Amino acid sequence: MTTIRNIVILTGAGISAESGLATFRGPDGLWEAYRVEEICTPQALARDPDLVLDFYDQRRRALGSVEPNPAHRALAELDAAWPGELLIVTQNVDDLHERAGAKRMVHIHGELLSAWCTACEGRSRFAGAMLDRPVCPDCGCVGTLRPDIVFFGEMPYEMEMIEAALTRADLFVSIGTSGAVYPAAGFVRLAKAAGARTIELNLDRTTGSGWFDETRTGPAGLLVPQWVGEVLRR
């Protein structure tokens, strides 16, 4: 058995599904009710800001009625206990990983609880409604705050740091993501090229399952605590 020291974990909407947050794709997914290009692009924000701001205001409000589930808690436990390098890269814009206690993590697609001012470029913690056109706490401008969400066509956050972590990874685990969106969908190949073992944990097999050494199917709330238990007992 190879020694594992450095772990990179990629998470997607599926890890928050059992907390009660909708995923994007699939029968009940958000992109079934909305067209992604009407919401999640800079052009959509320019064309119909109320529609886009309201969509993210609804998602932000929903955070108030959900809690981290056993999968988030197990990853936080692994983060606290793991002596080697560990990085949780989440595509999720919710705050459930950090509420569970995870520390070594990055939000590659931004955060609902952050606002980005297009006038001063400042980022500020934000829990209200952008439809109300709040004032930017940094520069005082009105109507210039947008959700700090990485729209399609924009550059995901922290890519250099993530790619560096992937080149050092001994183990790469992908949890609850369809693998439909790049660059995250390509992380498994970067990790594999660097010699990491690769595992996918998902409710079902995905179009990317063939890239992984192993795919386990089932709910994240069950599979993730099991897998964390195995890693910590090694």
Other Cβ atoms within 10 Å of 128 Cβ, number: 12
Residue nearest to ligand OAD (CB): 14
Pick 77 or 111: Cβ nearer ligand OAD: 111
Long-range Cβ contacts of 204-210 (<8 Å, 24+ apart): 206/177, 206/178, 206/179, 207/178, 207/179, 207/180, 208/174, 208/179
Interface with ligand OAD in residues 147-166 (CB under 6 A): 150
Q: What contacts 186, CB < 8 A, 6 or more positions away?
A: none
Q: Could you say which of 55, 77, 88, 91 contacts ligand OAD (CB under 6 A)?
A: 91
Q: Give min distance, CB of 93 to ligand OAD, in A.
A: 7
Mark residues 16-55: x for contact with ligand OAD by CB under 6 A, - for none: -xx----xxxx--x------x---x---------------
Interface segment toward ligand OAD; rule CB under 6 A; list 79-87, 114-122, 124-132, 171-179? 171-179
Which ranges of the chain does DSSP label H, i.e. alpha helix? 14-17, 30-33, 36-39, 42-47, 49-62, 70-81, 96-100, 159-168, 187-193, 220-233
The residue count for binding ligand OAD (CB under 6 A) is 26
- Active site includes 72? no
Q: Which of 22, 166, 189 is closest to 92 using CA atoms? A: 22
| Binding site residues, ligand OAD, CB under 6 A | 12-14, 17-18, 23-26, 29, 36, 40, 91, 109, 150, 176-178, 180-181, 202-204, 206, 219-220
Known catalytic residues are: 109
